[in-house]
Amino acid sequence: MQSNAALEYDYSVAKLFVYTTIAFGFVGMLIGTLIASQLAFPELNYLFGEYGTFSRLRPLHTNVIIYGFTLSGIWAAFYYSAQRVLKVSMAESKFVMFLGKLHFVLYMIAAVSMVVTLLLGITANKEYAQMEWPLDLLIVVIWVVWGLAMFALIGIRREKALYISMWYYIACFLGVAMLYLFNNMEVPTYFTSGGLGSIMHSVSMYAGTNDALVQWWWGHNAVAFVFTVPIIALIYYFLPKESGQAVYSYKLSLLSFWGLMFVYLWAGSHHLLWSTVPDWMQTMGSIFSVVLILPSWGSAINMLLTMKGEWNQLTENPLIKFMVLASTFYMLSTLEGPIQAIKSVNAIAHFTDWIPGHVHDGVLGWVAFMIMAALFHMAPRMFKREIYSKKLIEAQFWIQTTAVVLYFTSMWIAGITQGMMWRAVDEYGNLMYSFIDTVTVLHPYYAIRALSGVLYLTGFVMFAYNMIKTMTSSREISEEPQFRSPMA
C-alpha cells in the first residue's frame, strides 16, 4: 500500500526523550557550573555536606551530561528521524511502539538510579563507566531494547537503502555495546564471599595496566560512539532538512564513515601516553589520532559544503547558525585532539586543564549545539506549532558561543601554564615551583571558566523556555513545514 501521500509519523516516544533532554541538560549543566565554581571558590564545596564536594559531584556532572542529556537528545532525534528516513511510521507496528516505550521507561529507571548511586558514592570508579554492576546489567537491557526497536523498524521499512544517518545510528549501537560489555566486566563480591558486605560492590576483571587499557579503549570510544558518531547522524539529517540542500558529496560521506569506523578505535591509547602501557601501543594511538583528522574533517567539510551557494541562510536562520558553528567546533575539536595526542605535546598537556578545555569545545560547541538545533527543528513538526521566538534563539546563540570561547581559551591558558610550571627548573636544575604554586596561579582562569558556565547555562535556560513555550502556547500551524522551521 505505497502511496505518495505523506505518512503520518508517530512522535510519542520521540517527545518523551525531548522532555528528558531538556531536564537532564539543565541538571547536568547546573552541576557543571557549580563544580567549575568550586575550583575558583572552594567554599562552594560545603553546600550539601559530604554529597556536595567537587569530587563527588564531578562524575554526576559527566554522567548526567553524557547519559542523560546527550543520549536523550540522540534518542529523541532517532525516534523522530529514523521513521522518516526509513519511510515507516512507528504506529504501524505495535511491537516497535512497545519497544520504544519500554526503552524510555527502563532508561528513566536507570537514570534515576544512576543519580542516586553516584551521589551516595556507590561507584566502580572507572571514568564514564562509574555505574555499579546492577545498573550495568540494566543498561545492557536498555541497549538491547533500543537495538531491537531500531532493527524492527528497519525490518518493516519502505525505503530500502539506509540513509547516512542510519549508518551512524547502527555504528553507535554496535560500538557502545561492544565497548561497554568489555569494560564493565566485573565480579560482584557479595556472591563470591559467602554473602559478605554490600551487594552493590564489584571488583574489576582486569588489574592495573590492563584495566587502564580496557578503560581508555572505552573512555575514548565513548567519546567516539556517543559524542561523535550519533551526533554526525543528527547533522546528516537535520542540516539538509533545515536548509533544503542536498548533502554535498555521497562519496565523501562514505569515505568519512568507513574511515571513522576503522580509525577511531586505534586512537584510544593516546589517553595513556607516557604511562606503563607498552611503547608501541602509545605510538599507535598517537599516529592513528593524527590520521583521525581525515574522516573527522571529511564529515565536517561535507556538511559545510552542503551549504554551498546558500550561505545567506546563515544570516537568516538561527538554526543554520547553530549547525554550521557545530560543524566548525567539531573541526576545531578534532584538530586539537590529535595535537594533544602527539607525545611531546601530551607530555605537557596531560593531567592539565587543557584536556577538559578540549572536551568542552567538543561537547558545548558541537554536541550540545547540534542537539539543541535538532530539538528546535523537530518542535514545530512534533507539536504543530511554530517556534516561540526567533529573537530568543539569536540571543541564546551569541551568549552560548561567547561561553564556549571563554571556556576553551581560559583552559588553554590554564593548561599550558600549569604544564610548563610543573616542569620548570632553575639554573641548577631544581624544580622552580612547588605544586601549590601551580594551583594558585590558575585562579583567574578558573573564575573565567565558572563565568563561562553561568553564561552557557543561561543560554540553556533560554532554550528550555523557548521550547516549553513552543510546545504549549506558540501559534499553531496547519501544514508541516517542508524545510526551514517557522518561528515567530
Partner 1 sequence: MFHWLEKRPFFFAVGVFLVIAFAGLIEILPNFAEAARPVEGLRPYTVLELAGKEIYKKDNCIACHSQLIRPFKAETDRYGQYSLSGEYAYDRPFLWGSKRTGPDLHRVGNYRTTEWHENHMLNPPAVVPGSIMPAYKHMFTNKADIETAYAEAVTVKNVFNTPYGDDIQPGKEAFEKHFKSVVLPEAQKIAADMKNQDVKDAVAKGEIPEIVAMIAYLNSLGDSRYAAKK
* Rounded distance between C-alpha atoms, residue 324 and residue 310, angstroms: 12
Least distance CB 110 / partner 1 (angstroms): 20
* Rounded distance between C-alpha atoms, residue 173 and residue 230, angstroms: 9
Residue with Cβ nearer partner 1 (23 or 345)? 345
Cβ neighbours of residue 201 closer than 8 Å, sequence gap 6 or more: 132, 188, 189, 190
Best CA proximity match to 247, nearest among 260, 259, 261, 233 = 233
CA 243 to chain centre: 24
Residue with Cβ nearer partner 1 (177 or 488)? 177
Residue with Cβ nearer partner 1 (290 or 488)? 290
Least distance CB 256 / partner 1 (angstroms): 12
- Per CB under 8 A, 170 contacts partner 1: yes
- Per CB under 8 A, 355 contacts partner 1: yes
- Per CB under 8 A, 85 contacts partner 1: no
Least distance CB 84 / partner 1 (angstroms): 17
CA 155 to chain centre: 28
Residue/partner pairs of 38-45 with CB below 8 Å, 24 or more apart: 39/442, 39/446, 39/449, 39/450, 40/443, 40/446, 40/447, 40/449, 40/450, 41/447, 41/450
Least distance CB 372 / partner 1 (angstroms): 27
What the block records as the C-alpha cell of 246 is 542536498
Q: Which helix (H) or strand (E) holds 202?
A: strand 202-204
Least distance CB 454 / partner 1 (angstroms): 19
- Per CB under 8 A, 428 contacts partner 1: no
State which of positions 224-253 bind partner 1 (CB under 8 A).
Answer: none
Residue with Cβ nearer partner 1 (213 or 404)? 213
What the block records as the C-alpha cell of 238 is 537535520
Out of 5, 6, 246, 436, which residue is the one contacting partner 1 (CB under 8 A)? 436
- Per CB under 8 A, 427 contacts partner 1: no
- Per CB under 8 A, 450 contacts partner 1: no
Out of 15, 56, 321, 385, which residue is the one contacting partner 1 (CB under 8 A)? 56
* Rounded distance between C-alpha atoms, residue 68 and residue 66, angstroms: 6
State which of positions 193-212 bind partner 1 (CB under 8 A).
Answer: 193-198, 201, 203-204, 206-212
Out of 1, 160, 309, 478, which residue is the one contacting partner 1 (CB under 8 A)? 160
Residue with Cβ nearer partner 1 (279 or 476)? 279
Best CA proximity match to 67, nearest among 235, 228, 226, 231 = 226
Alpha helices in 161-228 (DSSP H): 164-183, 189-192, 208-222
Binding mask 267-296 for partner 1 (x = CB under 8 A): -xx-x--xxxxx--x--x---x--------
Residue with Cβ nearer partner 1 (193 or 312)? 193
